[in-house]
């Protein structure tokens, strides 16, 4: 396809397709001498093709800039093999690194500053002392939370608070302090007659699978 | 290590369980995995987190790939599923948590915290609005190391189809941006007229 005769015989769809292909090949640097001659013939009757080529080239370069940034991120992600088992890596992925960057350090710091209640009810370190409970309306948030944990542990509904908090967002403030939004995790206990678990199929899809409670019972009793 | 995506990757050894081979394969493919993630993930989902999830899934499931020639299409499917499922899950979870505390997250650009030029953001937005069958090859072609042949192999399509989709996708991209620019100019023009009227009144 490199002469006027052929160009004029083409349907509008084919002509538009050829135009797209020629522009694309020029951008990719893969245009053959024949392509260039077709391009010149096209440009002789349709001067706008030069503007389209220039726009397409600029857009391609802008997209390459994005891909360059993505590449930089990808180059920093290695397989988990070097740092222990996949499961250790998975645990790291699903907890701390999901929130990214120095949020991981903030989790550790929060554990230090806020103190935690142990999973062992006998080792509560911020729970209220019996006989010294302030009325709920007058209690500070920490005191009220402590009362909830204490009451829950007494009734058996609360097992305890997890020692680590999950940081959702960290925001450096103008005065040099840092605002940290985080989750305190409380483990509660319930009795259920039906349960499901989340599993992943071979393509990475999340699927929900019912748990056979009868089988669990028989395993426990074995 | 040469990070070009090429035909010499030891995929068979990787599937057989050799960890060095698997690492080599990952280094060879992680850039196009990133491109596929960008093409399919929700806007707010973090690219690095999703890449780590794909890396984990590769470690866990690569031994299930029966034919080395199917490794790349398999990895693409895994990547797309993680981009959609896990990306949506992570985004929803985080957004939900922030909503619970009455906060909304500052929206990052689509590939994490990287600083992009205005031009790049605008073109990326337009590229992400392309129909899926054009979006992926157009973005992949921006990875300089990927030829039409290599893109065709990942997408399990003939090379000529890939060339056509890239050419057509680029035209659609150009038209989308042209339309956006026209609309913006018209909006500014209208706003200018309104301000002038208010000023005149």
- Using DSSP's 3-state secondary structure scheme, residue A186 falls into strand
Q: Closest by alpha carbon to B22, among B63, B51, B73, B79? A: B63
What tokens appear for A8 in the block? Answer: 């004029």
- Give the torsion through C-alpha atoms of A186, A189, A193, A197, to 10 deg: 40
Task: Give the pLDDT confidence score for residue B133 in this predicted structure.
Answer: 93
Window 130-149 of B: residues touching A by CB (8 A cutoff) are 138-139, 141-144
pLDDT tops 60 at residue B89: yes
Q: Strand, coil or helix: what is A206?
A: strand
B2 and B61 belong to one structural domain: yes
B163 near B147, Cβ under 8 Å? no
| Token pair for B27 | 């280094």
Do residue B65 and residue B149 come from a single domain?
Answer: no
pLDDT, tens digit (0-9, with 9 covering 90-100), for B184-193: 888 888 777 7
Note the pLDDT of residue B159: 94
- Rounded to an integer, what distance in angstroms lies between the CA atom of residue A202 and that of residue B68? 16
Label residue B2 by pLDDT band (50, 70, 90): very low
Q: Which of residues 112-141 of A touch B (CB under 8 A)?
A: none
Question: From the candidates A21, A62, A72, which should be mutated to test the interface with B, based on the most B CB atoms within 10 A?
Answer: A62
Q: pLDDT digits over B42-62, tens only? A: 877 778 888 988 998 898 888
Beta carbons within 8 Å of A109's beta carbon, 6+ residues apart: none
Domain carrying residue B92: 1-113
Domain boundary among the residues B70, B85, B113 is at B113
Q: Which residue has the higher pLDDT, A167 or B170?
A: B170
Which residues are paired to B109 by β-bridges? B112
Smallest Cβ–Cβ distance between B35 and the set A56, A67, A183 belongs to A67
Same domain, B198 and B123: yes
Q: What is the CATH number of the domain that holds B134?
A: 1.10.10.10
Q: Cα separations (Å) of B60 from A82, A145, A209, B72?
A: 14, 41, 20, 16
Report CB contact under 8 Å: A93, B56: yes
pTM surpassing 0.80?
A: no
- Burial label for A90, CB within 10 Å (0-12, 13-18, 19+), is middle
Among A11-25, A76-90, A174-188, B140-154, the range scoring the smallest mean pLDDT is: A76-90
The predicted structure's pLDDT at residue B160: 93
The reported pLDDT for the residue numbered A105 is 39
Do B6 and B86 sit in the same domain of this protein? Answer: yes
**Does a structural domain hold residue A121?**
no
**How many structural domains comprise chain B?**
2
The answer to whether the CB atoms of A203 and B22 lie below 8 A apart is: no
Q: Which domain holds residue A45?
A: 4-73
CB pairs under 8 A between A and B: 173
Which of B9, B33, B46, B56 best tests the A interface by mutation, with the highest count of A CBs <10 A?
B56
* B8 and B93 within one domain: yes
Number of structural domains found in chain A: 1
């Amino acid at each position: 396809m490199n002469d006027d005769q052929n160009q004029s015989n083409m349907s509008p769809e084919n002509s538009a397709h050829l135009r797209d292909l020629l522009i694309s090949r020029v951008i990719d640097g893969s245009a053959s001498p024949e392509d260039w001659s077709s391009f010149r013939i096209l440009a002789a009757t349709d001067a706008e093709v030069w503007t389209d080529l220039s726009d397409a080239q600029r857009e391609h370069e802008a997209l390459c800039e994005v891909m360059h940034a993505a590449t930089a991120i990808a180059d920093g992600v290695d397989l988990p093999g070097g740092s222990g088992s996949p499961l250790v890596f998975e645990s790291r992925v699903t907890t701390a690194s999901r929130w990214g960057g120095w949020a991981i350090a903030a989790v550790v710091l929060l554990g230090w500053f806020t103190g935690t209640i142990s999973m062992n009810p006998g080792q509560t370190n911020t729970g209220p002392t019996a006989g010294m409970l302030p009325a709920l309306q007058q209690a500070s948030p920490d005191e009220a939370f402590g009362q909830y944990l204490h009451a829950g542990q007494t009734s058996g509904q609360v097992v305890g608070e997890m020692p680590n908090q999950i940081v959702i967002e960290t925001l450096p403030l103008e005065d040099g302090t840092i605002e940290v939004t985080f989750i305190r995790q409380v483990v509660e206990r319930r009795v259920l007659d039906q349960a499901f678990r989340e599993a992943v199929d071979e393509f990475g899809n999340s699927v929900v699978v019912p748990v056979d409670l009868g089988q669990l019972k028989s395993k426990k009793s074995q | 290590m040469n990070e070009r995506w090429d035909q010499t990757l030891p995929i068979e050894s990787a599937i057989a369980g050799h960890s060095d081979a698997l690492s080599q394969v990952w280094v060879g493919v992680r850039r196009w995995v990133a491109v596929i993630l960008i093409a399919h993930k929700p806007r707010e989902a973090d690219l690095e987190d999703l890449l780590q999830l794909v890396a984990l899934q590769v470690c866990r499931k690569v031994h299930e790939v029966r034919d080395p020639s199917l490794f790349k299409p398999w990895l693409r499917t895994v990547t797309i599923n993680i981009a959609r499922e896990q990306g949506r899950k992570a985004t929803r979870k985080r957004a939900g948590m922030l909503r619970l505390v009455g906060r909304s997250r500052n929206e990052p650009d689509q590939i994490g915290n990287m600083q992009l030029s205005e031009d790049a953001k605008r073109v990326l937005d337009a590229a992400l609005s392309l129909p899926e069958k054009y979006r992926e090859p157009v973005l992949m072609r921006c990875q300089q190391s990927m030829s039409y042949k290599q893109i065709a192999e990942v997408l399990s399509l003939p090379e000529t189809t890939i060339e056509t989709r890239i050419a057509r996708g680029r035209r659609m991209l150009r038209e989308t941006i042209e339309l956006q620019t026209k609309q913006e100019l018209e909006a500014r023009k209208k706003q200018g007229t309104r301000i002038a009227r208010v000023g005149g009144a």
